[in-house]
Amino acid sequence: MQALAPQNSTSRSLQEREPEAKFEHVDTSFLFEELRRVYQSSQKPISVDMRQLVSWLKAGDQTTHFLHPYPGKLLPHIAHFFVHASVLNKAKKPILDPFCGSGTVALEASLAGIETYVADANPFAILLTAVKSYPYSCTELQEELVALARRARGYRSAPPVEIVNATTWYHPEVKAKLERVHRAIVKISDEKIRAFFFIVFSATAKKLSYADPAIGVPVKLRVKPQFSTAENRRIEKKNRSHQLF
């Protein structure tokens, strides 16, 4: 679609303005109103590239949006667009997200200073949302990470974590090392910091498994003839690897 210009601008589009970082808290009402005007004029669905429309949000620089993989995640640009459109919530009243999933709406609302209420049938979604939207101290997390790693390295063993078909998904040595990390996380006294490291642990456990990272549901990563030689070698190396610490 055609680039949309701010109400107070007559010279350049939003995408052309520099530096883009200054649009972090821009009121997107002018974009919303323009989209509504176009729709009311045509009465036809509008094709919108939200990444282009909210171009100041860049991949890799989106706070905790990418803290943990989650199937069917909402694009942060969509949540950002609607949360920052004051025309939809002039009084900044609390937002309810009854199907919060990975917490994209809650995080964007929190960053905008808007209180959020969430619900989800998946307990993990609630935990992930709480962790992603909590204002942690980086210093405290770094200090706890050092202590956690020290404890994990000091353990000779840990209580086994029961996993269905464990050998299908993990090299035995990787599983044993992950269990030591899990044991170290359980020892964290602060509930919120412990929750953060459980989320990080979950993401790490998925990354170190034999699961295909490109598929949301558990599917074992396998060498395939349609893959390039380099890609198949990478898969073989991953399936052989059991280094954690």
Answer whether residue 111 is part of any domain.
Answer: no
Residue 154 shares a structural domain with residue 236:
yes
Average pLDDT estimate for 126-130: 97
Angle at 101 between CA 44 and CA 204, to 5 degrees: 130
> Is 139 or 232 the better-scoring residue by pLDDT?
139
Residue 56 pLDDT grade (very low, low, confident, very high; cuts 50, 70, 90): confident
Q: In the predicted model, what is the mean pLDDT of the chain?
A: 84
Final residue of a domain: which of 69, 95, 121? 95
Residue 110 pLDDT grade (very low, low, confident, very high; cuts 50, 70, 90): very high
What would the pLDDT profile of 215-244 be if each residue is shown by its tens digit? 777 787 777 787 788 877 777 776 666 555
Residue 177 shares a structural domain with residue 231:
yes
> Which residue matches tokens 């998925």?
206
Final residue of a domain: which of 95, 123, 150? 95
Answer whether residue 130 is part of any domain.
Answer: no
Residue 143 shares a structural domain with residue 75:
no
Answer whether residue 226 is part of any domain.
Answer: yes
Q: Residue 27: give the domain boundaries.
A: 14-95
pTM of this structure: 0.80
pLDDT for 219 equals 80
Residue 8 pLDDT grade (very low, low, confident, very high; cuts 50, 70, 90): very low
> Is 21 or 46 the better-scoring residue by pLDDT?
46
Answer whether residue 129 is part of any domain.
Answer: no
Answer whether residue 103 is part of any domain.
Answer: no
Residue 143 shares a structural domain with residue 235:
yes
Residue 155 pLDDT grade (very low, low, confident, very high; cuts 50, 70, 90): very high
Final residue of a domain: which of 26, 61, 95? 95
Answer whether residue 73 is part of any domain.
Answer: yes
Residue 148 shares a structural domain with residue 90:
no
pLDDT for 82 equals 95
Whole-angstrom distance, CA of residue 172 vs CA of residue 154? 19
- Number of domains comprising the chain: 2
Answer whether residue 57 is part of any domain.
Answer: yes
Give me the amino acid identity at 20: E
pLDDT for 230 equals 80
Answer whether residue 121 is part of any domain.
Answer: no
128 CB-contact burial (10 Å; exposed 0-12 / middle 13-18 / buried 19+): buried
Are the CB atoms for 129 and 155 separated by under 8 Å? no
Average pLDDT estimate for 112-141: 95
